[in-house]
Amino acid sequence: MFGITDLTAYLIGTVIIILLPGPNSLFVLSVAARQGVRDGYRAAAGVMVGDAILMIASVLGVAALAKAYPSAYLALRLAGAAYLAWLGLALLRAGWAAWQQARSAEPVSLAPLARVANPFARTVGICLTNPKAILFFMSYFIQFVDPAYPHPAFSFMLLGLMLQAISFLYLSTLIFAGSRLAESFRARRRLAASGTGLAGVLFMAFSAKLATASL
């Protein structure tokens, strides 16, 4: 149908892939938990836009270029790892500062955690500095597009829209779970600080994994 060879297998695989924890979903959850539903959806919008750009890039052959020139891929991979490490360090610093405030007896210690500035731009940056995602989109989509279909671009577009719809539903679940967690975090300052620090550690782990992964 519309040049898609095995829709059921594609949908099952897409759901499994989206449910796997990654830096995008973790960042959206963190923002929603700390800053509420509105900022959570701003972060989610960044994921949607970033993924859309990568899908278009993969269709246009960026992934093939990366495979043909390993040095270019290495540069992209290290740039993505550096960006994730920077985000991780920022979260670690925010968590430490919040922990220190929570230990203080001063009333000012109850001030909110530092806000994430422009969550939309942050998540777009996370997406676009992950060259593994470009290679994933290229290799994954091609498996389900009939090469004999006269309009393969339309097939790619349909597959991308399905992935985006599933991703949006999943991120919405994380956002509303995060907003409920926010109420608990406001009452438990050390818990909030620990969660922020843990998110920083996980981002550092994602950075290390990306930097050391083989092509």
Residue type for position 212: T
118: helix, strand or coil: coil
- Indicate whether this model's pTM tops 0.85: no
Average pLDDT score over the chain: 74
Query: Could you give the CA distance from residue 125 to residue 131 in angstroms, rounded to a whole number?
Result: 12
Average pLDDT over residues 63-87: 69
**pLDDT value for 111:** 41
Q: Which residues of 150-181 are buried (b: 16+ CB within 10 A; e: fewer)?
A: eebeebbebbbeebeebbbebbbebbeebbeb
Angle between helices 7-19 and 131-142 (to 10 degrees): 160
Q: Nearest-CA neighbor of 128 among 48, 16, 14, 37?
A: 48
Tens digit of each residue's pLDDT (9 = 90 or more) over 41-72 = 999 999 999 888 888 877 776 556 556 776 77
**pLDDT value for 179:** 63
pLDDT at 193 over 70: no
